């Protein structure tokens, strides 16, 4: 029964794959899920935000920049950047001489001009004073970004992988897996509901609380695992007996697994006489 419930959840994931593909890219990273290095950057951002708020409060009260520098102890250029609104980003980008030319470069790149040296020569004609290396680095970053975007779209986890990641503990997931599952849970709430219904079914079997079966069927009938609920309803008496019964086919399934393991270990030599000698004869 528990295996059938797990298969039903896998089928629910497969039904939701189109919706999952639409939502898995639109992800907002939770600061609690950042790596150690990213946490340091985020903590620095929070400290900058506190500094920005203090400087802006003084500026809005009419305090001149020179007085703000004396009161806060920050550099004059830092105070000026805060007043101009230049320190509001989480990850501060490195200032580049290409800033003024980026719209033109983006337009040329989208039009198919991918030769960095040619782009640099055209920029020189318009007054750009930087070296060709600056444009080469910009072009390299653009190519890497495009390859990364293409590979991320092609690496959407399979339905089986998503079902596994959604049913194991969060402590066993990597940061990327955690972010992906968080995006799926926020974008496909019906899948989260199906997971909870399957988990309740497993708990009902483990605790042998057969009196919850009827209410569980009604709840599951309107979810993504309605097919499982319909099957349980057709054999409700048998499922009820399986939940409360002390008998189990676990011993049979265990012996079948052992038999398959021994047969595969013999690389095609597992005829009936050899299997009998290894399994039955070994127990005598």
Give the residue extent of every domain in the chain. Answer: 2-24+159-244, 250-283
pTM for the complete prediction? Answer: 0.47
- Chain segment 157-180, per-residue pLDDT in tens: 778 888 888 888 777 777 667 777
Confidence at residue 270, expressed as pLDDT on a 0 to 100 scale: 65
Kindly state the percentage of the chain with pLDDT values over 70: 80
Residue 101 has pLDDT above 90, yes or no: no
Q: What is the pLDDT of residue 154?
A: 42
Q: What is the pLDDT of residue 157?
A: 75
Residue 143 binned pLDDT confidence (cut-offs 50, 70, 90): confident
In the chain, % of residues over pLDDT 90: 8
Cβ-based neighbour number of residue 212 at 10 Å: 15
Whole-Å CA distances, 276 to 252, 254, 262: 17, 17, 11
Mean pLDDT of 121-132: 86
- Band of pLDDT at residue 98, cut at 50, 70 and 90: confident
Measured at the alpha carbon of residue 224, what is the angle toward residues 220 and 226, in degrees to the nearest 5? 45
pLDDT bin (cut points 50, 70, 90) of residue 146 is: low
- pLDDT of the residue at 99: 72
Is the pLDDT confidence value at 86 over 70?
no
Looking at residue 151, what is its pLDDT? 47
The more confidently predicted of residues 21 and 130 is 130
Give me the pLDDT at residue 246, please.
82
**Is residue 113 a contact partner of residue 139, using CB atoms and an 8 Å limit?**
no
CA atoms in the 13 A half-sphere facing the CB of 78: 14
For the segment 10-32, what is each residue's pLDDT rounded down to a tens digit?
Answer: 888 888 877 777 676 544 445 65
Q: What is the pLDDT of residue 156?
A: 66
Q: Does pLDDT of 50 surpass 90?
A: no
- Predicted pLDDT at 200: 92
**Spatial CA neighbour of 105 closest among 92, 115, 91, 95:** 115
Residue among 4, 3, 19, 1 nearest 162 (CA): 19
Per-residue pLDDT at 93 exceeds 50: no
The answer on pLDDT for 236 being more than 50 is yes
């Amino acid at each position: 029964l528990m295996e059938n419930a797990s298969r039903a959840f896998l089928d629910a994931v497969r039904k939701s794959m189109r919706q999952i593909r639409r939502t898995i890219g639109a992800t907002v990273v939770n600061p609690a899920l950042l790596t150690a290095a990213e946490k340091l950057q985020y903590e620095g951002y929070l400290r900058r935000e506190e500094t920005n708020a203090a400087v802006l409060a003084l500026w809005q009260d009419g305090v001149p920049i020179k007085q703000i520098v004396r009161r806060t102890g920050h550099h004059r250029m830092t105070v000026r950047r805060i007043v101009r609104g230049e320190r509001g980003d989480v990850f501060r980008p490195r200032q580049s001489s290409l800033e003024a030319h980026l719209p033109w470069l983006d337009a040329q790149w989208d039009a198919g001009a991918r030769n960095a040296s040619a782009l640099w020569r055209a920029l020189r004609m318009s007054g750009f004073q930087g070296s060709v290396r600056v444009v080469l680095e910009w072009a390299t970053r653009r190519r890497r970004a495009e390859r990364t975007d293409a590979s991320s779209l092609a690496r959407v986890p399979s339905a089986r992988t998503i079902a596994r990641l959604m049913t194991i503990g969060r402590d066993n997931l990597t940061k990327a897996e955690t972010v992906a599952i968080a995006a799926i849970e926020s974008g496909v709430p019906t899948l989260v509901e199906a997971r909870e219904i399957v988990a309740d079914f497993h708990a009902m079997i483990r605790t042998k609380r057969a009196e919850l079966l009827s209410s569980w069927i009604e709840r599951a009938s309107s979810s993504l695992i309605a097919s499982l609920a319909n099957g349980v309803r057709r054999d409700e008496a048998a499922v009820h007996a399986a939940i409360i019964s002390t008998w189990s086919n676990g011993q049979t399934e265990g012996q079948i697994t052992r038999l398959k393991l021994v047969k595969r270990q013999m690389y095609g030599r597992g005829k009936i006489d050899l299997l009998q000698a290894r399994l039955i004869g070994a127990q005598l």
